[in-house]
Structure 1
Amino acid sequence: MFKFGFAKTITDINEEDKTDELEWIPAFKLEITPEQVGVKYGTDYYTETKVFPDFNLKLIRSDKVVKDLTKHNCQNIIEAETQHSDLIPAKYEGGLKIWECTFDLGQYILEEQIELKDKLVMDLGCGAGLIGLIALLKNSTVHFQDYNAEVLKSMTIPNVLLNCDNRTNIFTKCEFYAGDWASLATLLDDEENRKYDYIFTSETIYNPDNHKKLYEIFKRKLKINGLGFIAGKIYYFGVGGGMRQFEDLVLKDGYFDVKMVWRSQDGVNREILKLTRKQHQEHGLLGI
């Protein structure tokens, strides 16, 4: 049975929320420095693995990252490690671990031969950045987003650098955003109001309290003909979120058509949903 490693039960968290509102980190853009681009990684610091067919990726070892972040007194990570927790709401959102549905989504993208060349892609809740790496290696421009800046700095960005033949491409082909989804759409509006051909996200629907924030990113930041893909489990034991809850939210709003394009019943049921803007919405936007 899949279950998130929460330090407290969901009941405890709900009780705390009633008296002490969670303070989510506002979204911000993370700038890459030449010093970061020039870092050399020893072979003991990463593993080389064929995560997907024809994709031999170099990936930073999470145990090394945790050790470094602990050494540098990163409190969010120290608290999660101390409590043996994969998630601490509004503090640490599990980005140092590659979750199961990420592999489902990556495999689906490759098997369906989704056209990524010269597209603008958002890897939302990216963690290690595997989905964004696929897009990048298929000649997309990719924006990586994760809640924790520490994850982006210590895992996502190193993974991008390890898998790029020309490291300087990171300045023109990649952008990195940290913080909460509630303020992300507004921040992206300020960044030339760019919209995406594809928004991919995996294992981000575990907390039903964040469903609306997540959905708003798709609604506000996909191009008229853009597509959204959400990979996740039918239900997240111990947390309360799941695919049907998120799907119901989208369907009630009436802005997107929702189609289940992939499903596995091996172990905990997993799905991939595709969001396509409804035709009348397209015409409405074209008329603005």
Structure 2
Amino acid sequence: MSFLFNFPSPDEDTSTASQPFTFSFSPIPNSASSSADEVPAAEKDTPAPSSQAAHAPTKEHVFQCTIESAPSENPDDKSAENKWNNFAMDNVGLFFLCPQWIDRNILATSLPNLLGSQPSQNGDVVKSDIVPKVYEGGFRVWDGACDLLVYLISESPVDFQGKKVLELGCGAGLPGIYALTKGATVHFHDYNADVIECATLPNILKNLKPIADGVDESRVRLFSGDWLSFVRFLRVEKLDDDPLAEDNRYDVILTGDTVYRQDVLSSLAFALPRLLRKEGTVYLAGKSIYFGLNGGTEEFRQEITKENLIECVDSKVYPDCVQREVLNPIELIANDQVTRSVAVLNARHTGSSGL
């Protein structure tokens, strides 16, 4: 078993700037149809936790997959060869935008305010990989996404054909893209709309380009916003047998490095059982501990025991200087008495950041 990333050499010339990579995107209004095929907006009278007042409401973004919309390269652009990285393992190859290319063509020009960038003494822009509750690192491919791919491809292959899949905290979207290529319907969700527009979407289109004319556009949906607003957007707050709510939930949820901060764990533990179908499974990848942030898989295990709605049955450990693991299966606990008041549940999560 082996996998590799095709990263540009540290000695590459980064002085040549290519043209900005842009897409036309329009948020879908939150007044969507309430049918099972079109996910409805949240009910206006649903009480929101006070902790969500300053966070990101859910938006859906238009997806079009055609030969014309797929990324194309200018053969005369010498920097284009360094635009894409490649994840390769066994017979799987997935492309994603090179972080250095994103730095030069997106972050440096379009997102300094989002990232909280500040000029240094020499006038250069200093960027942060993460600004909590503002930018959650979606333009980087983290270890969790790599571990998820290794696990799904080699360690415990999953039959995605016909499954409804959510990649939560998707960023570059590689695990979700892999599921998409294996026949799943995939919804991608990230905190930042800019990440969805400038990273997730281009990566999807790049990997689907060879089969663009054969892709059903209804198999892909793109969302941005915080986790709790997404739960309300789908109208899945209550753990009951409502057919519409169950249809809006997912067979498989993929998520990597979303447990890195302790203050988001309660929101994640709140969201997962409400987004998961009765026979569904969560694959969660992360480090056992994130030093300085107090998050990690161990803290997440403790968090999900508080409500006793989902449980982690097993995990695959990847030894490193800091232990990494994929928690799977994470499943709903069989319980006939799970229907509880959403107001009570929301009250228990006051104070969480709710990514």
Measured against the shorter chain, the TM-score band is 0.7 to 0.9
CA deviation string 1:91-117 (max 9, x = no partner): 110001111121111111122111111
Tell me how far 1:37 sits from its aligned partner: 5.9
| Cα distance change on mapping 1:205 and 1:73 into 2, 3 Å | closer
Q: How far off its partner does 1:147 sit?
A: 0.9
For each residue in 1:204-233, what CA deviation from the matched residue of structure 2 results, as whole angstroms up to 9, or x when unmatched? Answer: 111111112112221111110000121110
What amino acid maps onto 2:318 in structure 1? Answer: S
Rounded to whole Å, the distance in 2 between the matches of 1:170 and 1:74 is 36
Larger helix fraction of residues: 1
| Aligned counterpart in structure 2 of residue 44 of structure 1, from 81, 86, 92 | 81
Find the counterpart in structure 1 of residue 63 from structure 2. 32
Contact preservation (8 Å) 1:260, 1:271: no
How far apart are 1:71 and its partner, in Å? Answer: 2.2
For residue 118 of structure 1, what is the aligned residue in structure 2?
A: 162
Contact 2:259 2:296 in 1 (8 A): yes
The reply on whether 1:103 has 2:165 as its aligned counterpart is no
| Residues 317, 325 of structure 2: 8 Å contact kept | yes
**1:77–1:167 Cα change, 3 Å:** farther
Greater CA drift, 123-132 or 253-262: 253-262
> Are the equivalent residues in 1 in contact too, given 2:65–2:217 (CA < 8 A)?
no
Structure 1 residue 158 corresponds to structure 2 residue 196? no
Alpha-carbon distance between aligned partners in 1 of 2:53 and 2:192, rounded to the nearest angstrom: 15
Superposed CA deviations along residues 162-182 of structure 1, whole A, max 9, x for unmatched, are 111333636211101111112
The total of aligned residue pairs comes to 264
Q: Which residue of 1 aligns with 2:220?
A: 174
Q: Which has the larger radius of gyration?
A: 2
**Which 10-residue stretch deviates more, 199-208 or 248-257?**
248-257
Q: Which residue identity does 1:180 align to in structure 2?
A: D
For residue 222 of structure 2, what is the amino acid of its counterpart?
F
The whole-number CA distance in structure 2 between the counterparts of 1:51 and 1:129 is: 15
Q: How far off is 1:51 after superposition?
A: 3.0
Q: Relative to structure 2, which stretch is displaced further, 67-76 or 262-271?
A: 67-76
Greater shift, 200-209 or 76-85, is seen at 76-85
SS of match in other structure, 2:129: coil
Letter in 1 for 2:69: G
* 1:127–1:151 contact (8 Å) kept in structure 2: yes
Aligned partner of residue 279 in structure 1, secondary structure = coil
Q: Distance in 1 between matches of 2:256 and 2:134?
A: 19
**Does residue 187 of structure 1 match 2:233?**
yes
Q: TM-score, normalised by structure 1?
A: 0.83
What is the TM-score when the length of structure 2 is the normalising length?
A: 0.68
The answer as to whether partners of 1:99 and 1:203 remain within 8 angstroms in 2 is yes
Matched, 1:68 2:111: no
Structure 2 letter corresponding to 1:146? D
Supply the RMSD in Å over aligned alpha carbons: 2.7
Q: Deviations over 1:108-151 (max 9, x none)?
A: 11221111111000011011001101100111000001111111
> Deviation at 1:272?
1.5
Q: State the one-letter code of the partner of 1:85.
A: S
Which residue of structure 2 lines up, in the alignment, with residue 266 of structure 1?
320
Q: Which residue of 1 aligns with 2:39?
A: none
Q: SS in structure 2 opposite 1:56?
A: strand
1:276–1:269: structure 2 CA closer, same or farther, 3 Å change rule? same
CA change 1:83–1:272 in 2 (3 A) is same
For residue 248 of structure 1, the aligned residue among 298, 302, 312 is: 302
Give the match for residue 256 of structure 2: 202
- What is the CA distance between 1:235 and its match in structure 2? 0.7
Q: Could you say which residue in structure 2 is the equivalent of 1:8?
A: none
Structure 1 unmatched runs, 5+? 1-19
Q: Structure 1 residue 41: deviation in Å?
A: 2.9
Distance 1:66 1:83 in 2: 11
Q: Give 1:53 deviation, angstroms.
A: 2.1
Residue type of the partner of 1:101? Answer: G
Match of 2:335 in 1: 280
Residue of structure 2 equivalent to 1:13: none
**Per-residue deviation, 1:240:** 1.6
Q: How big is the shift at 1:60?
A: 1.5
Identity of matched residues, % = 27
What SS does the aligned partner of 1:166 have?
helix
